[in-house]
Amino acid sequence: MTPANAALANAALVTTYGRHLASRGLAPATVRNYLADVAPFEEYLAAQGIALGERAEGLRAFVERGGP
Protein backbone atom coordinates (compact mmCIF):
# COMPACT_ATOMS: atom_id res chain seq x y z
CA MET A 1 0.00 0.00 0.00
CA THR A 2 1.27 3.47 -0.77
CA PRO A 3 2.03 5.81 2.13
CA ALA A 4 -0.71 8.20 0.96
CA ASN A 5 -3.35 5.45 0.92
CA ALA A 6 -2.15 4.14 4.28
CA ALA A 7 -2.37 7.65 5.74
CA LEU A 8 -5.98 8.00 4.58
CA ALA A 9 -6.96 4.62 5.95
CA ASN A 10 -5.22 5.23 9.27
CA ALA A 11 -6.72 8.71 9.63
CA ALA A 12 -10.19 7.26 9.17
CA LEU A 13 -9.53 4.65 11.84
CA VAL A 14 -8.18 7.23 14.28
CA THR A 15 -11.24 9.42 13.66
CA THR A 16 -13.44 6.45 14.51
CA TYR A 17 -11.38 5.85 17.64
CA GLY A 18 -11.85 9.49 18.67
CA ARG A 19 -15.60 9.19 18.23
CA HIS A 20 -15.59 6.02 20.31
CA LEU A 21 -13.68 7.75 23.11
CA ALA A 22 -16.06 10.70 23.04
CA SER A 23 -19.09 8.40 23.13
CA ARG A 24 -17.77 6.90 26.35
CA GLY A 25 -18.14 10.30 28.00
CA LEU A 26 -14.47 11.18 28.21
CA ALA A 27 -13.63 14.86 28.52
CA PRO A 28 -12.73 16.56 25.23
CA ALA A 29 -9.21 17.25 26.51
CA THR A 30 -8.76 13.56 27.32
CA VAL A 31 -9.88 12.56 23.83
CA ARG A 32 -7.46 15.09 22.30
CA ASN A 33 -4.62 13.76 24.46
CA TYR A 34 -5.33 10.14 23.55
CA LEU A 35 -5.38 11.03 19.86
CA ALA A 36 -2.18 13.04 20.24
CA ASP A 37 -0.53 9.98 21.77
CA VAL A 38 -1.57 7.83 18.79
CA ALA A 39 -0.60 10.37 16.11
CA PRO A 40 3.18 9.70 15.92
CA PHE A 41 2.61 5.95 15.61
CA GLU A 42 -0.08 6.49 12.98
CA GLU A 43 2.26 8.76 10.98
CA TYR A 44 5.12 6.29 11.24
CA LEU A 45 2.99 3.40 10.02
CA ALA A 46 1.65 5.48 7.13
CA ALA A 47 5.20 6.37 6.09
CA GLN A 48 5.93 2.62 6.00
CA GLY A 49 2.82 2.04 3.85
CA ILE A 50 1.04 0.15 6.62
CA ALA A 51 -2.68 0.66 7.01
CA LEU A 52 -4.48 -0.44 10.13
CA GLY A 53 -7.78 -2.16 9.53
CA GLU A 54 -10.32 -4.09 11.48
CA ARG A 55 -8.07 -7.12 11.52
CA ALA A 56 -4.82 -5.10 11.58
CA GLU A 57 -3.05 -7.24 8.96
CA GLY A 58 -0.60 -4.42 8.28
CA LEU A 59 0.35 -4.07 11.92
CA ARG A 60 0.67 -7.83 12.30
CA ALA A 61 3.02 -7.97 9.30
CA PHE A 62 5.05 -5.09 10.74
CA VAL A 63 5.44 -6.83 14.11
CA GLU A 64 6.26 -10.20 12.55
CA ARG A 65 9.08 -8.78 10.51
CA GLY A 66 10.49 -6.92 13.52
CA GLY A 67 9.82 -3.38 12.34
CA PRO A 68 10.66 -1.51 9.17
pLDDT of residue 54: 52
pLDDT of residue 37: 92
pTM: 0.69
Does 10 score more than 70 pLDDT? yes
Instruction: Tell me the pLDDT of the chain averaged across its residues.
Output: 83
pLDDT of residue 58: 64
pLDDT, average across residues 44-56: 75
pLDDT of residue 22: 93
Residue-wise burial string across 3-24, b where 16 or more C-beta atoms lie within 10 A, e elsewhere: eeebbebbeebbeebbeebeee
